[in-house]
Structure 1
Amino acid sequence: MTSLAALAYALLLMALVILYNIIKQFWCKSGKGRSKPLSLPPGPAPWPVVGCAPDMLWNKPTGRWILRLMEEMDTDIACFRIGNTHVIPVTDPKIAQEFLKKHDATFASRPVSMAAQAFSGGYMTAVISPFGEQWKKMRRVLTSEIICPARHKWLHDKRAEEADNLVKHVFHQCKSLGQVNLRHTTRHYCGNMIRKLVFNKRYFGKGREDGGPTIDEEQQVDALFNALNYLYAFCVSDYFPFLVGLDLDGHEKVVKDCTRTFRRLHEPIINERIKQWRDDSSSQSNGKEPQDLLDVLIMLKDSQGKPLLNPHEIKAQATEIMMAAVDNPSNAVEWAMAEMINRPELLNKAKEEINRVVGQERLVQESDIPHLNYIKACAREAFRLHPIAPFNVPHVALSDAIMAGYRIPKGSHILMSRMGLGRNPKVWDEPLKFEPERHITNDAEEVVLSEPDLRFISFSMGRRGCIAAQLGTTMTVMLLARLIQGFNWSPLANVSSINLNESKNDLSLAEPLVAQAKPCLANHLYRK
């Protein structure tokens, strides 16, 4: 009896082993079983529940803290868990191309956030709204009707008018003050430009003879920059939504103040224009043509001939267009001028190119841009070395993915590090040196401001990439070229050189750039 029991036990054990091996082989062949799952990208050990939130709040600004830890870990991709969200920063161009070029469909959404919801009117717009039907609708509107080559050509005269106003305004500052605040000048050039394109006006009210801003324009531009600074700014309630309303880090107050400014200045114009186009039939019957981008947004029709966009969508999209246009060109040009004033040989080389291509009898025009390679190289170098923000607008993973050999969970926030890409020593020689010549590899090849290999970010790419690269290029090059062509620049009399330190809170110059400027062209060119 005992021997029979032992035999039965042995047979049962053998059968279980055989069954286990069969199941294991089937499991492995089907791909459902792996001895070791793929790991997340490297990163700091998170606290239970809250993740890295305490470290994020303690180490401000967050962008510099993230980049510093990545350098210490010697990694080009990392993972910071904040609450339940995996934040994945990237500093390597090849990995960045995997996300934004090869697999951009997987990362085609945006995070839900307090500021994004406020500035997009509840996710009614094209740039900062999450993936979905509303985003698709507004994206089609922008690509087919607003930011397209035909529309760019249509708006040429408005851009030319603002380029002339820039020269006139700087000329007046030279005559009255002998010095120019270039942060103020570059930001208001961009504000004037996009206001002219959207609303067909430089001023909300009466305006000034010298072309400078009034208090309303200053408040609008300040609100635009504040809005951009607080958009995707690691607000604690974005990772712990139950904290919305408590405003623990002060972000909500700033966002509400910006929104109030936009409503006060934008909505009267938009409401009146909607009334003119939709309530006043004489506008249609008299064959009135659209004058600006706001008119275009209002006049769009659906397949049934009804208005394509409701007033709420129009207001939100108009504000988003303005937000998207002001920061990159003004920041790049302020930094480029600071670097070049400290190195007069760079300014001289840029001015020599303009004199060769354009001469001194007329001002630089948009048609000259293809031939101003050194000016564009200076702008590219400013985008590379001095980006406007630590990261680009975040992408959100729509599904689980494997990137660079790591597991990227669904819902992860993907951040392309503008600082990390542009200053990566594995990519750039002497990455902290301002060297425009590095962007000119062939005298016969035209220099462009976009960077398709993502060695730095001027205009992003993919399904959520920047669709206004042509406008951004035009604004940046015209701003920089007109400043260099029209004036001789030097530090203030009591200053030996420009301080190139970055602000502690962001990536702008620690102090606004103020420099001496002297007109160097015939007087009539400044009074157009």
Structure 2
Amino acid sequence: MPSNGVSLSLLSFCSVLLLLASIFFILRKRRAIPLSLPPGPKPWPIIGSLPEFLKNKPTFRWIHNMMEEMNTEIMCIRLGNVHVIPVTSPKLAAEFLKKQDAVFSSRPVILSADIISRGYLTTALSPLGEQWKKMRRVVASKVLSEQRHRWLHNKRTEEADHIFGFVYNQTMDSTTGGVVNMRVVAQHFCGNVMRKIIFGKRFFENGRADGGPGVEEEEHVSAMFTILAYLYAFSPSDYLPCLRGLVDLDGHKKIVRTATTSVAKYQDPEIEERIRHWMEGARTKQEDLLDVLIMLKKEDGSPLLSPEEIKAQILELMIASVDNPSNAVEWALAEMINQPSTLERATEELDRVVGKQRLVQESDLSQLNYVKSCLREAFRLHPVLPFNVPHVSTVDTTVAGYFIPKGSHILLSRRGLGRNPRVWDDPLQFIPERHLKQDGSDVVLTEPDLKILSFSTGRRGCPGVNLGSTMATMLMARLLQGFSWELPPTMSKIDLNESAENLLLAEQLHAKAQPRLAEIMYHQP
């Protein structure tokens, strides 16, 4: 019996050892199996999905269509040796921009960004490194700080008054019947504001007699929108570096260089002249952001920024400010004209908060929750760009159980986040009321939970959130307070189709405006 008991105990012990060994082997085997990449199209050897990428234009629509067909909120597309990972889920977006913000804090080395930033001298476009850290400190603390925002208040108000008068002059134009091109109004308001706060002037020359942009400003703004259209525009040479020194296959390089040169033609002489004035003592007082940038000093008293850094950073500030607010205002007004009750409610709010005896001011904007809800809904439904500026992973990591290789380009989809049916009810409908808060607290144009991506967040977030929000809301408020808006006589409804190439309105918004305030209100000193 004792020997049988020992044998039984030994057998049990061996069985336990065998079981533990089996479990250890299974777990070890599982760990040896690498995590999979997010789902996506099967790539070709070496070139990846570049053939499909070149065949299906515009690329952003191809990407979004694939994600819808595969019913996924994260995808991996290999282009050359680069893994491009688009994301349409707020939860996953938060993984990238919040939980692992430090990992995804760099930018890709892209030909268009290299040209525009003059060799990565700027803030938003530069890869992670000392130059980015330096320029980020400058922009955040010296250029777009809250204190600087208050300092530039009067200049922004001047431009709000000016655009108000420009629209009024168009309502008096018998040749147009009061029909206003709102894309021109919105884009040039943003251009005017940025030129005023940077260069201290609205126009490079004289502008038009009615207050509209001159040929110089038209070229300046047009070139900036061309730059924006081609920045990070999926050029094959960005994914196959061996092509960069060869022929300009898709023409992007020539287009970006031409547009950048066009902008520099107007901006660089202003910068060079101002630097000379400070050096010669002809200018002694800081009055705008160009003065601020020139007068930044190192500890030894020498200039902190070189002329090339100033030129590059000013170009980046300009292109970062003209598109988002102007696009939101144009889309919001187009949607509201098709929904007269929405337009009426926003106008009633302005009459209640501000009245008709004075013009709306920036100090009123915090109380205009419905106006801001209309803009916020435009940012959600009609983002100006399909994707945010790409983030690049600095190490191998995992997100949502997927392997994300070092060097991957992360594209957070503005369009996908804002129209995600898992997040939004009736996502394709313009419903400003969805943004109003039950407790009546302030509506803001940012979204901490990334359900929309009006302005980027995190360490690579947009430092100009305050400026961009103010520009968009002030323009929208002035347009609604000062004018009644309706369809042009030849139209029964505003066509809300997107352009085939981008997310702008396919047809520029033309709307009939009529003054709704006393005439004296339109003639500001």
> Structure 2-normalised TM-score?
0.93
8 Å CA contact 2:373–2:436 kept in 1: the answer is yes
- Once residues 34 and 435 of structure 1 are traced to their aligned partners in structure 2, the CA distance between those partners, rounded to angstroms, is 48
After TM superposition, give the deviation of residue 170 of structure 1 in Å.
Answer: 0.4
Which residue does 1:226 correspond to in 2?
A: 226
Where 2:511 maps in the other structure, the secondary structure is strand
- Once residues 292 and 81 of structure 1 are traced to their aligned partners in structure 2, the CA distance between those partners, rounded to angstroms, is 45
1:73-472 aligned within 5 A: 73-176=70-173, 177=176, 178-244=178-244, 245-277=246-278, 279-281=279-281, 283=283, 288-472=284-468
Counterpart of 1:482 (choices 478, 483, 502) is: 478
- Once residues 305 and 188 of structure 2 are traced to their aligned partners in structure 1, the CA distance between those partners, rounded to angstroms, is 29
After TM superposition, give the deviation of residue 444 of structure 1 in Å.
Answer: 2.2
Where 2:85 maps in the other structure, the secondary structure is strand
After TM superposition, give the deviation of residue 341 of structure 1 in Å.
Answer: 0.4
- Once residues 159 and 26 of structure 2 are traced to their aligned partners in structure 1, the CA distance between those partners, rounded to angstroms, is 67
Specify whether residues 27 and 423 from structure 1 end up closer, same or farther in structure 2 by C-alpha distance, changes over 3 A only. closer
- Once residues 241 and 387 of structure 2 are traced to their aligned partners in structure 1, the CA distance between those partners, rounded to angstroms, is 22
- Once residues 451 and 100 of structure 2 are traced to their aligned partners in structure 1, the CA distance between those partners, rounded to angstroms, is 18
- Once residues 252 and 353 of structure 1 are traced to their aligned partners in structure 2, the CA distance between those partners, rounded to angstroms, is 48
After TM superposition, give the deviation of residue 441 of structure 1 in Å.
Answer: 2.4
Where 1:34 maps in the other structure, the secondary structure is helix
- Once residues 335 and 505 of structure 2 are traced to their aligned partners in structure 1, the CA distance between those partners, rounded to angstroms, is 11
After TM superposition, give the deviation of residue 304 of structure 1 in Å.
Answer: 1.2
After TM superposition, give the deviation of residue 25 of structure 1 in Å.
Answer: 5.8
Count, aligned residues: 502
After TM superposition, give the deviation of residue 208 of structure 1 in Å.
Answer: 2.9
Q: Deviations over 1:206-229 (max 9, x none)?
A: 233322100010001001111011
After TM superposition, give the deviation of residue 28 of structure 1 in Å.
Answer: 6.6
8 Å CA contact 2:207–2:215 kept in 1: the answer is no
Moved more, 317-326 or 252-261: 252-261
Q: Deviations over 1:238-279 (max 9, x none)?
A: 1112222512112112101111112211111000001111x2
- Once residues 198 and 297 of structure 2 are traced to their aligned partners in structure 1, the CA distance between those partners, rounded to angstroms, is 19
After TM superposition, give the deviation of residue 282 of structure 1 in Å.
Answer: 5.4
8 Å CA contact 2:74–2:85 kept in 1: the answer is yes
Could you tell me which amino acid in structure 1 is paired with residue 450 of structure 2? L
Q: Deviations over 1:130-171 (max 9, x none)?
A: 100000000000011001010000000000000001110001
After TM superposition, give the deviation of residue 303 of structure 1 in Å.
Answer: 1.4
Which residue does 1:41 correspond to in 2?
A: 38
Moved more, 205-214 or 86-95: 205-214
Task: Confirm whether residue 513 of structure 1 aligns to residue 509 of structure 2.
Answer: yes
Where 1:500 maps in the other structure, the secondary structure is coil
Could you tell me which amino acid in structure 2 is paired with residue 259 of structure 1? T
- Once residues 405 and 456 of structure 1 are traced to their aligned partners in structure 2, the CA distance between those partners, rounded to angstroms, is 24
- Once residues 74 and 457 of structure 1 are traced to their aligned partners in structure 2, the CA distance between those partners, rounded to angstroms, is 21
Where 2:172 maps in the other structure, the secondary structure is helix
Unpaired segments ≥5 residues, structure 1 = 1-17
- Once residues 35 and 349 of structure 2 are traced to their aligned partners in structure 1, the CA distance between those partners, rounded to angstroms, is 54
- Once residues 419 and 108 of structure 1 are traced to their aligned partners in structure 2, the CA distance between those partners, rounded to angstroms, is 22
Could you tell me which amino acid in structure 1 is paired with residue 152 of structure 2? L
Could you tell me which amino acid in structure 2 is paired with residue 238 of structure 1? D
Which residue does 1:5 correspond to in 2?
A: none
- Once residues 138 and 271 of structure 1 are traced to their aligned partners in structure 2, the CA distance between those partners, rounded to angstroms, is 20
After TM superposition, give the deviation of residue 525 of structure 1 in Å.
Answer: 1.2
Could you tell me which amino acid in structure 2 is paired with residue 37 of structure 1? P
Q: Deviations over 1:56-93 (max 9, x none)?
A: 11111111110110111111111000000000000000
Q: Deviations over 1:334-372 (max 9, x none)?
A: 000000001111110000000000000111100001100
Which residue does 1:10 correspond to in 2?
A: none
- Once residues 224 and 132 of structure 2 are traced to their aligned partners in structure 1, the CA distance between those partners, rounded to angstroms, is 22
- Once residues 229 and 293 of structure 1 are traced to their aligned partners in structure 2, the CA distance between those partners, rounded to angstroms, is 26
Where 2:31 maps in the other structure, the secondary structure is coil
- Once residues 272 and 282 of structure 2 are traced to their aligned partners in structure 1, the CA distance between those partners, rounded to angstroms, is 17
Specify whether residues 34 and 185 from structure 1 end up closer, same or farther in structure 2 by C-alpha distance, changes over 3 A only. same
Could you tell me which amino acid in structure 1 is paired with residue 303 of structure 2? P
- Once residues 508 and 342 of structure 2 are traced to their aligned partners in structure 1, the CA distance between those partners, rounded to angstroms, is 21
Could you tell me which amino acid in structure 2 is paired with residue 269 of structure 1? E
After TM superposition, give the deviation of residue 526 of structure 1 in Å.
Answer: 1.0
Q: Deviations over 1:160-214 (max 9, x none)?
A: 0000011100011111121100011100000001111111101111233322100
Where 1:336 maps in the other structure, the secondary structure is helix
- Once residues 281 and 171 of structure 1 are traced to their aligned partners in structure 2, the CA distance between those partners, rounded to angstroms, is 41
Where 1:347 maps in the other structure, the secondary structure is helix
Could you tell me which amino acid in structure 1 is paired with residue 46 of structure 2? V
Which residue does 1:67 correspond to in 2?
A: 64
Which residue does 1:13 correspond to in 2?
A: none
Where 1:415 maps in the other structure, the secondary structure is strand
After TM superposition, give the deviation of residue 405 of structure 1 in Å.
Answer: 0.6
- Once residues 302 and 236 of structure 1 are traced to their aligned partners in structure 2, the CA distance between those partners, rounded to angstroms, is 41
- Once residues 208 and 40 of structure 2 are traced to their aligned partners in structure 1, the CA distance between those partners, rounded to angstroms, is 53
- Once residues 266 and 441 of structure 1 are traced to their aligned partners in structure 2, the CA distance between those partners, rounded to angstroms, is 43
Moved more, 172-181 or 334-343: 172-181
- Once residues 99 and 86 of structure 2 are traced to their aligned partners in structure 1, the CA distance between those partners, rounded to angstroms, is 17
- Measured on the aligned residues, the alpha-carbon RMSD in Å equals 1.7
- Once residues 444 and 429 of structure 1 are traced to their aligned partners in structure 2, the CA distance between those partners, rounded to angstroms, is 21
Could you tell me which amino acid in structure 2 is paired with residue 417 of structure 1? S
Moved more, 427-436 or 231-240: 231-240
- Once residues 51 and 498 of structure 2 are traced to their aligned partners in structure 1, the CA distance between those partners, rounded to angstroms, is 25
Could you tell me which amino acid in structure 1 is paired with residue 335 of structure 2? E
Q: Deviations over 1:74-131 (max 9, x none)?
A: 1111100000000000000000001001110000001111110011010000011110
- Once residues 319 and 293 of structure 2 are traced to their aligned partners in structure 1, the CA distance between those partners, rounded to angstroms, is 17
